[in-house]
Structure 1
Amino acid sequence: MRYCDGYKTVKVGLVESDNSVRYINVSGNAYHIFEINVTGTYRVFVENTSGTDVKVEGSYTR
């Protein structure tokens, strides 16, 4: 996950197959890798907590 949108704040994370959630709070520029060590279904989420538009880019490696 790469986030670069000034000083706006977001939560970025994963919802795991058991519906548990892992996330980070981000303000300003950030780069983070979520490691996944267990096979399963995962969902990525971004929650905008800044109240204005934000830009987030993401990718995954298999």
Structure 2
Amino acid sequence: MQKSEVIEHFGTVTATAKALGISHVAVSKWAEKIPKGRAYQIEVLTGGKLKAEQTQTAQGIA
């Protein structure tokens, strides 16, 4: 999940932050790839419209 697609979905950095219950500064500090925990939270909040990415590990799918 990319930061730009999340902000596009919610409309603004401020609206994204409000939906997640965090500060707009926290959203602004994200790298382009959303932190895994936040990505799953966003997937739930958007009803699956935005999907958290599954990543491969040496032991299988994380």
Q: Same fold (TM over 0.5)?
A: no
- Higher normalized strand content (fraction of residues): 1
- Higher normalized helix content (fraction of residues): 2
The alignment's TM-score, normalised by the length of structure 1, stands at 0.24
The alignment's TM-score, normalised by the length of structure 2, stands at 0.24
> Relative contact order (C-alpha < 8 Å, sep 6+): which is higher?
1
